[in-house]
Chain A
Amino acid sequence: MNKYLILCIDDEREVLESVLTDLTMFEQQFDIEGCESVAEAQTFLTQQLEAGQALALILCDHMMPDIQGVDFLIELNQQACFQPTKKILLTGQAGLEATIEAVNLGGLDCYIAKPWQAGQLQQHVKHHLTQYIIEQEADMMPYAPVLETQTIADAWQQRRLEIAAQS
């Protein structure tokens, strides 16, 4: 099990598969999982939390049965353990109000419209994973090759004294 998890939620299986396929480039450093509903995601996240895995990034559809994506992101954002998690909405259907709400309350970091381009999706995910790792992970260099190397290297350098003081 990797230390960090990337979770994708989409109620449409075909779309979910496509997203997961597009993210395979990160699978060596991150566990990548898909869920077909928010309820499933909730149980799964609780389970992973107990196992000590942190949620680095969540890619969530908006229009879903039961709970809508934005509402779920807001719910997540209210839990301290998921606040650092980078939250991306992948949808074609979130309205203006819902998006503003997601920004103000849900800590939304990014919005990707469907249909998406693989490169664009990967770039956004890479960027936000990089930010997450810089904010959360002391030993960030192992992530540098798959993420934004320059950014991580810069952040690492900024912290050189702390690292020196710790090792």
Chain B
Amino acid sequence: MPERSTLLKAIFCTGIPLLILAMPTSWIPLPELTLVQHRIIAIFVMAALLWILEPVPVFATSLLIITLEVVMISDQGWQGFTHTQGNVPLGELLPYQSIFASFSSPIIILFMGGFALAIAASKYELDTNLARVLLKPFGNHIHAVMLGLMLITAVFSMFMSNTATTVMMLAILSPIIATAPQGDLGSKGLVLSIPIAANTGGIATPIGTPPNAIALQYLPEGSVTFLEWMMIGLPFVIIQLAIAWVLLKLLYPAKTARLPLALTGQFLRSPKAYIVYVTFATTILLWLTTQLHGMNAYVVAIIPLAVFTLTGVINKQDLKLINWDVLWLVAGGIAMGMALDASGLAVKIANNIDFASMGTWLVIVSLSLICYMMANFMSNTATANLIMPIAAAVAMTIPAFAGSDTGLTSLLMIVAFSSSLGMILPVSTPPNALAYSTGFIETKDLLKTGLLIGGTGLGLIYLGLWLWF
């Protein structure tokens, strides 16, 4: 009975926070806790439970967070919440504008820009044609094709949604697989390579996947540019892909070495198509050259949006294809983080747990492991939403990080990377789910490769950190 279990989950997810809300503030083991902070704890617990158990869609949880925040802890909230009762101090109420502002955060604009590029590219078949053209030079040997598929998938998922990239690449691949003899392990390897590359590729750029952007949100303005992120992310992605390629070759040896590839692609030549090509290239170029022109990634992101809507490349219908749920999910996370931060709760928690004595390494490893574990079972973005504010607060209290932004930056990037490495189950990420739905692979294949790639990814992060510091 799915309805019943959903109901039970929902009751559990609201019951626990209500209990927290109902109990006296003094019971919570944090010093000088204000009422506002008390309520934020309840909201945070509820958000965490809802995101983990998913009795409602993740984006609905985000909206709930924003709603509860403006009602319970904003200066324009319900009367009963804006006045002190008893002897517990109320604490500082948040301006309601700043809560609503999470919807128009630069991060949201950055994502809209990314979506606009993806919509335009797919509408004018730029992505498909480019993928076919780029795949040609790899020949038709199965391992070369796999390498080609992985590289192309990774590159596309850096600038487009990982999901759309996966669909596109699987669609190119599946007719080839269908003609292959049944039960050939090589086919499985090919299909697996695509979600792996898509999940991994997203790590390389700030817009590749939402956790990256969420990390940016918590970093001081301008501390990491688009290019700087890529300089760390790209080598990581390249090494990960290389490892994945070798792993897949070993785990899924092919019986037939040659694939019957028939790739035909013809670029559209209408004026609008050219607008798309030029805008696409220009935007990426602008992102990479912030130093030259001074416009940061957010500012650049709105340019393609304007160009495409003005030229009619993106019309009213296409606008609906923007992943609004992802935007809302991110907005909810921003609102949550803002509340934690602005109320001083985050720092209070971080100060109260003696991270300094735990040792820097233990903190980093445990945060990234928790993040990795959660990301495997729930939405990567929701994971980042939950962990990122805590990580940001923790970073403040670690003595080793004090004094510069480098420590904070590396911790948040590690958390972002870790949340993108969770891919052991079909439900872990949309690309996994799509690859699984083709029926060519089984859960155990994803489990096996996902664990290995995740393991090497975490290892690589720690190794890099060790070499750096």
Contact = CB atoms under 8 A, between A and B. Distances in A.
A/B touching: CB–CB < 8 A: yes
Interface of A: 139, 141-142, 144-145, 149-150, 152-154, 156-157, 159-165, 167
A161 B172 CA distance: 15
B321 interface: yes
17 contacts: A141-B170, A141-B439, A144-B174, A149-B175, A149-B178, A150-B175, A153-B172, A153-B174, A156-B171, A157-B168, A157-B172, A159-B167, A160-B122, A160-B164, A160-B167, A161-B321, A163-B164
Interface stretch (B62-70, B289-297, B303-311, B430-438): B430-438
Nearest to A140: B437
B316 to A, nearest CB: 15
Interface of B: 118-119, 122, 128, 161, 163-164, 167-168, 170-172, 174-175, 177-179, 320-325, 430, 433-434, 437-440
Given A141-B439, A165-B325, 4 more contacts: A142-B439, A160-B122, A163-B434, A165-B323
Nearest to B161: A164
B163 A163 contact: yes
B135 to A, nearest CB: 14
Nearest to B321: A161
B321 A153 contact: no
A145 B174 CA distance: 8
A22 to B, nearest CB: 21
A145 B178 contact: yes
Contact of A161 (B118, B128, B177): B118
Contact of B163 (A149, A152, A164): A164
B178 A161 contact: no
A59 to B, nearest CB: 24
Given A142-B438, A150-B175, A157-B128, A167 B322 contact: no
B155 to A, nearest CB: 16
Nearest to A167: B430
A144 B325 CA distance: 28
A151 to B, nearest CB: 9
Nearest to B433: A167
Contacts of A154: 171
A154 to B, nearest CB: 7
Given A153-B172, A164-B161, A144 B323 contact: no
B439 A145 contact: yes
A144 B178 contact: yes
B163 to A, nearest CB: 4
Nearest to A152: B174
Contacts of A139: 437
A161 B171 contact: no
A141 B321 contact: no
B164 A141 contact: no
A162 B324 CA distance: 12
Residue among A139, A141, A156, A163 with max Cβ neighbours from chain B (10 Å): A141
Given A141-B434, A149-B178, A165-B323, A160 B439 contact: no
A13 B439 CA distance: 35
Contacts of A144: 174, 178, 438-439
A46 B16 CA distance: 47
A26 to B, nearest CB: 14
B237 to A, nearest CB: 20
Nearest to A139: B437
Nearest to A156: B171
A154 B264 CA distance: 13
Pairs of residues from A and B, 7 with the lowest C-beta to C-beta distance, nearest first: A157-B171, A149-B178, A160-B167, A164-B163, A164-B164, A150-B175, A167-B430
Contact of A141 (B161, B172, B174): B174
Contacts of B321: 161-162, 165
B439 A153 contact: no
A164 B178 contact: no
A163 B323 contact: no
A149 B174 CA distance: 7
A153 B437 contact: no
Residue among A141, A152, A164 with max Cβ neighbours from chain B (10 Å): A164
B71 to A, nearest CB: 30
Contacts of B438: 141-142, 144
Residue among B118, B128, B174 with max Cβ neighbours from chain A (10 Å): B174
Contacts of A150: 175, 178
A144 B178 CA distance: 8
Nearest to A142: B439
A163 B160 CA distance: 14
A88 B235 CA distance: 56
A159 B170 CA distance: 13
Contacts of B325: 165
